[in-house]
Amino acid sequence: MKYILFVLLSFITINAQQVADKIAAVVDNEIILKSELDFRLTMEAAQRNLDPKNETLQKQILNQLIEEKLLYAQAELDSVTVKDEQVTEVLENQINYFIQQYGSKEKLEQIYGMPVEKIKRTMRDDTRKSLMAQAVQQKKFGELQVSRKEVEEFYESFKDSLGIVPDKYTLAHIFQNPKTGEQIKKKAKDSAQSLLDTLKKGADFAELAKKFSNDQGSASQGGDLGFVKRGVLVPEFEAAAYSLSQNQISGIVETQFGYHIIQLLERRGDAVHARHILIKFNTDDQADLKAIEFLNELRDSITSGKNIFEYYAKKYSDDKNTGKFGGELGTFEVNQLDKTLTDIIYKLREGEISFPKRLEIDRNTYGYHIVKLIKRVPEHKANLDIDFSEIKRLTEYYKRQKLYAKWMEELKEKIYWETRL
pLDDT at residue number 320: 85
pLDDT at residue number 200: 94
pLDDT at residue number 184: 78
Structural domains in the chain plus CATH codes = 2-143 (1.10.4030.10), 165-179+284-381 (3.10.50.40), 182-279 (3.10.50.40)
DSSP state of 19: S
User: CA angle at residue 292 from 291 to 296, to 5 degrees?
Assistant: 115
Which residues in the chain land under pLDDT 50?
1-7, 9-19
Work out the burial of residue 185: count CB atoms within 10 Å of its CB; fewer than 13 is exposed, 13-18 middle, 19 or more buried: middle
How far, in whole angstroms, is CA 339 from its chain's centroid? 22
pLDDT at residue number 363: 61
Buried b (16+ CB within 10 A) or exposed e, 265-282: bebeeebbbbbbbbbbbe
pLDDT at residue number 180: 65
* Separation of alpha carbons 340 and 338, rounded Å: 6
pLDDT at residue number 1: 42
pLDDT in tens, 171-190: 999 999 887 667 778 889 99
Half-sphere exposure of 390 (CA within 13 A, CB side): 17
Q: Look at strands 164-165 and 249-255 and give their pairing.
A: unpaired
DSSP secondary structure of 391-411: HHHHHHHHHHHHHHHHHHHHH
pLDDT at residue number 4: 44
* Separation of alpha carbons 121 and 95, rounded Å: 12
